[in-house]
Structure 1
Amino acid sequence: MGQGTIGTAPENRMGRRFGWPQITVTHALAMLGGGLLVHLLGSLPPVWCGSVAMLLALPLICHRSHARLPGWFLLGLALNLLHAQAALDARLPAAWHGEDFDIVGRIRGLPDAMPESTRFEFEIESASLHGRVVNLRGLARLNWYERAPVLQPCTRWQLRARLRPPRGLVNPGGYDSERGAIQHGVVAVGYVRNAPDSRLIASADALCIDGWRSAISHAIAERIGPGTASSLLRALAVGDQHAISEDNWQVLRATGIGHLIAISGLHVGMLAALGALIARRLWKWFPKLTLRVPGPILEAPMALAFALGYGLLAGMGVPTIRTVLMIAVVLVARLSRRAVSVSHGLALAAVSIMLFDPLAVLAAGFWLSFAGVAILLTLTQPAGVRRAAWRELPRLQLVLSLALLPLTVWLFGQGSLVGPLANLMAVPLVSFVVVPITLCASLLILPFPLVGGLLLDWASVLLMALWKLMQVMAALPAAQHYFAQAPIWAFVLATLGVAWALLPRGVPARGLGLCLLLPLLVPHRTQAEHGGFGVWMFDVGQGLSVLVRTGGHCLLYDAGPRYPSGYDLAETVVIPSLHALGVDRLDRLVISHGDGDHAGGTQAVHRAFPDTPIESGEPERLGVPATACRSGTRWQWDGVDFQILAAGGGASRGNDRSCVLAVSGRFGSLLLSGDLTTREDRSLVDQLPALAQPLILGVAHHGSRNASSEALLDALRPRLGLVSAGFRNQFGHPHPELVERFRERSIELINTADNGYLHVELGENPGLPERGRDLRSAWWRVH
């Protein structure tokens, strides 16, 4: 007995110290904090750090003490470190940039066929380079430009493709495509080479869900025809957003209802609720069933089946998977007949998502989903308290919009002032009427075209009635507002202010909490002193766009490229960057000449700033009202002199028609010359006004060999040269001969391709040039 007692005592003590992990809201927040810490790093630590953190975390989260909290923190840290390193290891190495690979794999998702090319996602199963098998697997985003065949989902192909790492552009505002690539598992991007080796290997099998989605999308397009109704219904039915035009996206953004057109958590949750309701009705219709099976046991699988079915129909993208997983966790907890509070269920869902996809914390949807649900739980009336829906819904929508305002402004830099009212009208109609009808039509349109078509017609009528109202609201002058970038402390302060303002009635001075929103909504901007100005050369790849900003005026020189595929850098880079910098008005737009890499985005900038006067060396090629540059035109803003020099006025067309702009202030000067070649820049030397030193030179023609002649450099004596060029571009810009000309004269040369956007302030206390990739460094950056 004595020996038995002595032998079991340590086991009892161990049992008291350790047990199954307990998940609470605090533990979920600790795990989230550990994951966030990883994504604040500019580079990842050695991989063994993640392994050590995991070994420490596992026993701690099972320990029956306060050590569980740091254990959950370490678990979030370890998972994100290990997954982040795995994502970097899977990415195409920089040394293989621009190489031609022979790849074998399957088409994933719905290809986007356009007149000039077809964009599609390709799951690489095997790859070889120069006849040697290489370790490259994962998702690639490809274009097929010339003579592209009709690509069907799930088909298996062998392709010759030129690939590069998913390197993106880095600017003050706009979408971080490198972060998006990591988040979605994209290991490479590129295009298909038209080689005999590119061929179809196997057709899609009968169980291809994406094939069904494609067939439903085409059936909707044939029934409704081209236009807004068709594109929106296809997005609601199968997640096919390819046909939604930029004008329609603008309406969605201005009214704040874009989340309804995406396959949102609200729709998936609504389908889950519908499944539970049907199960509950079946349970009540069969009395014998009520004696054998409890209601929740029947409701949970049915709800999950409906949610999973809609998720498959929507393409099972990462956001949809997260939503289905959230619903599954809550339903499994209910199925186990355990009493789970809503907040506890939310914590379980958050932990499950972070275990399944640790990098989900990089997604804006992750934060908006959980923040929205948590806020609604806080605002919902306690049990037993009833209030009329017509009074409760407007209150919830208004308070939810206010509560999510700091997060929305921080993530997207914009907000819809009509959003609360638009959502109040759109959410019930779209979620509870249009989506169910559209889904029924989608399931019937292939086997029973007549019935499915009639349902689609009905959904189209309802949706377009709503859409006309949304267009009216989007056209209101104050429908949408853009906010300048603010520091992280302003976001934290605004979040605290909203929490203060939403405290229960009776708490004194709640309204003062709204004052804490001001640093986020109206961030302080250091204005250039009189006679000084700032220069921003945006990272637009092989193109040009430069912002010149004095104390109270803004000028944009060139608008960036627009490609034949329709990809417009003005829409995706230039305009978001202007908004992020707090530019709400352009006083002048100068387009050097009509080539697409400089003038491609002109129409987009004109739509965003319709009252801005435009002038160009080739106004006839712009497609918008513009005047010709006139040599000798001068004006002054805030003590800074501007002068236009049409050096290439004698040229018939092209680079040497570039409109040259000279800017000179008290503390320095700037010269921008578009694509002017050495043939014309020699004559420019005789026209140059007296320019203050130090001088910044915008290197002409992206740094080509025949730009910025020796005569020009000797006459100007610039201190700094700024080059706007694409990363590893096919032209080899900046050319080695040009680089040598600058080196011989000890002129510093900085390239957007290597550094992202460039920012220089010419003021009384000028600092070093700011480089976007240094200021926005992150572990996922492609170097």
Structure 2
Amino acid sequence: MFAGTLAWLLGIVALQSLPELPSLFWISPLPLVVLLAWRCRRCRCLAIALTGFVWALVHAYWVVDRVLPLQLEGADVEVTGRVVGIPEYDAGRLRFRFDVQKLSHQGLTYPSPGQIRLSWYRDYQQLGSGEIWRVTARLKRPRGFSNPGGFDYEGWLYREGIRATGYVRSDVRNRRLNAAGPRPFSIDRLRADGIRRMQAHLEGAEFGGILSALALGDRSAISAEQWEVLRGTGISHLMAISGLHVGLVAGMMFGLVRFLWAGWPGASRWLAAPRAAGCGAILGALGYAALAGFSIPTQRALIMVAVVMGAVVMMRTLQPTRSLFLALALVVAWDPNAVLAVGFWLSFAAVGLILWVMVGERSAPALRYRWLKIQGVITLGLFPLMALAFGQVSLVAPIANLLAIPWVGFVTVPLTLLGVLALPVNATLAALLLQIAHYSLAVLWWPMEWLAELPLALLRIAEPPFWSAVLGGFGALMLLLPRGIPLRGLGLLLMVPMVVLTAHPQPSEGGFRVTLLDVGQGLAVVVRTANHTLLYDAGPRYGDHFDAGSAVVVPYLRSLGVDRLDRLVVSHGDSDHTGGVNAVRREIAVGDIRRAPNPGESLLAEHCQAAMRWEWDGIEFSVLHPASSYTDPAAENDHSCVLSVRAGDYRVLLTGDIERFAEAELLRNRSGELRADLLVVPHHGSATSSSSEFIALVRPKMAWVSAGYANRWGFPKPEIIARYRSAGAAVWTTAQYGAMEVAVDPRLGFGVPRLWRLKSQRYWSATFGGGG
């Protein structure tokens, strides 16, 4: 069973790791190979692996074939469809999923891409789950930032089955076609009604958002401060409907039905109590998963419950480990994309570790401390995976989970569910139950806050090389072996590389590395020397709860293991350069700040002025602009701080948003210092910058442009790209290649640039996401 399941899983993982999907023509002989391999007993695992590969390939082609036509990207299209899930209202924006039924443009009808994700920014209307709407929208294929250490938004959209994103345009033709939709019953409408009723009873309650997440899978109201406590204590998995909760509900339903069935005279003659309890457990898990909208994690948990309880109903003896392997095989058969989610690996690994403890310890003293041991084993066993996936591990998680799991599972969740079930029946009883559930969270919260504030509560780890995480996994398993096993202590040594090494190349002695991050329509550049780190701008702010600082810059710095910036340079005051500054200063210690002397700028920092120079580890930093006498208040872009970074005879020039006036000023006053091998193109490649004279004097070999994908200004302008190419420069944009990084050595010069979108490409970003 183990070998077959492992082969099936490896076949699916192999397909999901490909940068491009293989042609169906070239793999058409595979079914024959599978049949031949199956006939050989020693080759059956190979046959199973190939079957998993083919199954995942067929599923992938079915998904990527339903894609938005390229000619519709950026066009105003008429979309008719059904509102799916629960619309999210947040800071003047409505965001919702839309199941497209009809897609048309200029009188032509196109095949439906399936589900899309839309935002409605101005004059949005109240939407209800299941309603049919016709809206005018501007769509694009799924696209996200591509950065080391960053969240893979494109991969998340792919896993969620979202084929396009976009926003609703202001149009008098936007209207509701059918309030109820074609189906009178809708789980989404029941969930939306439950959330509305809960919010009415818990208005202003501190933990109302967590209760809503526990009962109905809606996490939108959990505050950022609460998320920090949850992550710091390692209990964030408890504050949403997850596999643990589904399992607890199934277990409680099993016990309740068995107790009631045993007390019902004659019932056992019709159906044995364990079999009835198994049916009740499956129905309970099914109902709870429905409350979560059948999210992907709950689907996994539902399959696991069905495997275990199905064996009980059919009166089959199924060993716990066989149940685990069967559930794993069924989960990835149902959804081959499940292996792309970190939660998949964490949940099955956690269950496997629990079984390790439960099966291995049978003595009375061991049983007494089993719950404590389980928490320690899970923390140790999941350490490599947590370090690789999140770059942090909560050291207080064993204690926090020891307290929180039984409290939330046996007190908060039952009270919350009973309160939700009572909402349509007895509002007074529902309010009482929800208030008690809220109080139970308040009781739990103060020790969680105390644990999260401990100095070593959260261990942050630089992104380790993949091989070191695999080695660390073997090391953790060795440490979990029974005492007396030879070389058991070697496991600790195997875990050391994962903690001390990083996947990111370090600057050479006397050299530096420069990284242009993909922040959309904005700018953020990181320069690292052997012992120092500088950040030049911090990208834009996209909304009240989303900015490039927290979403891109901070995760990248943490993946490097950088917890302190030696200097932050803010080129000028435009929001697409300063939007992430506050998030960076909040999360990362900053030595000092230099900024251009922009009028009205409130950031307390030393002015950035020409002739400023400093040296770090043999690398020379020089500010070339603005001069102290430069005082044109009307041209804020031309106040941008221009920074030159030099190692030996090799230079990088960072120019902010300077335009032709500032370029002319530089040509007059700093012509001898403008020559650069790498130029970060001024003002995102706008037509108001990059004059022919400026380019001729800089003579860059590489011109990097930071610009958002399909941005509304059309940056970089085609004529600007042509101008750089005619001057002999290779032009690369973050919109096409994601984050870009290059090493500069004073003896060897520039290394081969690392283009992150190409380095991390998967088949959904190449075909489905429209990767560069």
| Fold equivalence (TM over 0.5) | yes
The reply on whether 1:631 has 2:631 as its aligned counterpart is: no
Unaligned runs of 5+ in 2: none
Matched-pair identity in %: 38
- Conserved 8 A contact 2:651-2:676: yes
Matched AA of 1:164: K
The reply on whether 1:217 has 2:191 as its aligned counterpart is: no
The reply on whether 1:260 has 2:244 as its aligned counterpart is: no
Shift in CA distance, 46/530, structure 1 to aligned 2, threshold 3 Å = closer
The reply on whether 1:518 has 2:496 as its aligned counterpart is: yes
Equivalent residue number for residue 670 of structure 1: 652
* Structure 1 residue 544 displacement after superposition: 0.6
CA distance in 2, matches of 1:235, 1:620: 45
Equivalent residue number for residue 449 of structure 2: 471
Greater mean alpha carbon deviation, residues 264-273 or residues 113-122: 113-122
The reply on whether 1:708 has 2:690 as its aligned counterpart is: yes
Greater mean alpha carbon deviation, residues 162-171 or residues 466-475: 466-475
The reply on whether 1:742 has 2:724 as its aligned counterpart is: yes
Q: Equivalent residues in 2 for 1:15-414 (5 A)?
A: 24-49=1-26, 52-54=29-31, 56-57=33-34, 65-204=41-180, 206-226=184-204, 228-382=206-360, 384-387=362-365, 391-414=369-392
Greater mean alpha carbon deviation, residues 568-577 or residues 640-649: 640-649
**What is the DSSP-based 3-state SS (H/G/I as helix, E as strand, rest coil) of the residue aligned with 1:468?**
helix
Equivalent residue number for residue 585 of structure 2: 606
Greater mean alpha carbon deviation, residues 224-233 or residues 688-697: 688-697
* Structure 1 residue 441 displacement after superposition: 0.9
* Structure 1 residue 605 displacement after superposition: 0.4
CA distance in 2, matches of 1:656, 1:247: 39
Shift in CA distance, 529/30, structure 1 to aligned 2, threshold 3 Å = closer
Q: Aligned Cα RMSD in Å?
A: 2.2
CA distance in 1, matches of 2:753, 2:88: 40
Matched AA of 1:529: S
Q: Equivalent residues in 2 for 1:418-457 (5 A)?
A: 418-457=396-435
Greater mean alpha carbon deviation, residues 743-752 or residues 137-146: 743-752
- Conserved 8 A contact 2:675-2:698: no
Shift in CA distance, 151/77, structure 1 to aligned 2, threshold 3 Å = same
CA distance in 1, matches of 2:489, 2:603: 47
Greater mean alpha carbon deviation, residues 610-619 or residues 516-525: 610-619
* Structure 1 residue 630 displacement after superposition: 3.5
Equivalent residue number for residue 4 of structure 1: none
**What is the DSSP-based 3-state SS (H/G/I as helix, E as strand, rest coil) of the residue aligned with 1:68?**
helix
**What is the DSSP-based 3-state SS (H/G/I as helix, E as strand, rest coil) of the residue aligned with 2:369?**
helix
Equivalent residue number for residue 763 of structure 2: 779
CA distance in 2, matches of 1:58, 1:465: 60
Shift in CA distance, 258/558, structure 1 to aligned 2, threshold 3 Å = same
1:707-740 deviations in Å (ceiling 9; x for gaps) = 1222322332222211101122221111122222
Matched AA of 2:532: H
Q: Equivalent residues in 2 for 1:567-578 (5 A)?
A: 567-578=546-557
Equivalent residue number for residue 638 of structure 2: 656
Equivalent residue number for residue 3 of structure 1: none
**What is the DSSP-based 3-state SS (H/G/I as helix, E as strand, rest coil) of the residue aligned with 1:299?**
helix
CA distance in 1, matches of 2:545, 2:201: 26
The reply on whether 1:616 has 2:592 as its aligned counterpart is: no
CA distance in 2, matches of 1:762, 1:515: 34
Equivalent residue number for residue 513 of structure 2: 534
Unaligned runs of 5+ in 1: 1-23
* Structure 1 residue 58 displacement after superposition: 6.7
Shift in CA distance, 461/59, structure 1 to aligned 2, threshold 3 Å = farther
- Conserved 8 A contact 2:387-2:464: no
- Conserved 8 A contact 2:8-2:51: yes
- Conserved 8 A contact 1:268-1:311: yes
- Conserved 8 A contact 1:50-1:79: no
2:741 to 749, 752, 759: 759
Matched AA of 1:403: G
1:57-110 deviations in Å (ceiling 9; x for gaps) = 47866x693443222111110111111111111121334321222121111111
- Conserved 8 A contact 2:73-2:141: yes
Shift in CA distance, 650/446, structure 1 to aligned 2, threshold 3 Å = farther
- Conserved 8 A contact 1:234-1:241: yes
Shift in CA distance, 471/381, structure 1 to aligned 2, threshold 3 Å = same
CA distance in 2, matches of 1:621, 1:336: 74
**What is the DSSP-based 3-state SS (H/G/I as helix, E as strand, rest coil) of the residue aligned with 2:492?**
helix
* Structure 1 residue 333 displacement after superposition: 2.3
Shift in CA distance, 751/289, structure 1 to aligned 2, threshold 3 Å = same
Shift in CA distance, 623/519, structure 1 to aligned 2, threshold 3 Å = farther
CA distance in 2, matches of 1:308, 1:95: 42
* Structure 1 residue 496 displacement after superposition: 1.1
- Conserved 8 A contact 1:51-1:82: no
Greater mean alpha carbon deviation, residues 619-628 or residues 506-515: 619-628
The reply on whether 1:768 has 2:752 as its aligned counterpart is: yes
Equivalent residue number for residue 561 of structure 2: 582
Shift in CA distance, 50/530, structure 1 to aligned 2, threshold 3 Å = closer
**What is the DSSP-based 3-state SS (H/G/I as helix, E as strand, rest coil) of the residue aligned with 1:636?**
strand
**What is the DSSP-based 3-state SS (H/G/I as helix, E as strand, rest coil) of the residue aligned with 1:510?**
coil
* Structure 1 residue 371 displacement after superposition: 0.9
- Conserved 8 A contact 1:228-1:244: no
Shift in CA distance, 682/98, structure 1 to aligned 2, threshold 3 Å = same
- Conserved 8 A contact 1:561-1:568: yes
CA distance in 1, matches of 2:233, 2:35: 46
CA distance in 2, matches of 1:49, 1:614: 57
**What is the DSSP-based 3-state SS (H/G/I as helix, E as strand, rest coil) of the residue aligned with 1:586?**
strand
CA distance in 1, matches of 2:404, 2:677: 55
Equivalent residue number for residue 12 of structure 1: none
* Structure 1 residue 150 displacement after superposition: 0.9
- Conserved 8 A contact 2:412-2:441: yes
1:533-583 deviations in Å (ceiling 9; x for gaps) = 110001111111000000100000111111135321221111111112222
Shift in CA distance, 756/621, structure 1 to aligned 2, threshold 3 Å = farther
1:442-478 deviations in Å (ceiling 9; x for gaps) = 1112331111111111111121222232223223333
**What is the DSSP-based 3-state SS (H/G/I as helix, E as strand, rest coil) of the residue aligned with 2:696?**
helix
CA distance in 1, matches of 2:305, 2:361: 22
Shift in CA distance, 59/451, structure 1 to aligned 2, threshold 3 Å = farther
Shift in CA distance, 467/657, structure 1 to aligned 2, threshold 3 Å = farther
**What is the DSSP-based 3-state SS (H/G/I as helix, E as strand, rest coil) of the residue aligned with 2:459?**
strand
- Conserved 8 A contact 1:157-1:200: yes
Matched AA of 2:752: L
**Corresponding residue pairs, total:** 759
- Conserved 8 A contact 1:172-1:772: yes
**What is the DSSP-based 3-state SS (H/G/I as helix, E as strand, rest coil) of the residue aligned with 2:483?**
coil
CA distance in 1, matches of 2:31, 2:230: 43
Matched AA of 1:742: Y
- Conserved 8 A contact 2:87-2:129: yes
The reply on whether 1:558 has 2:537 as its aligned counterpart is: yes
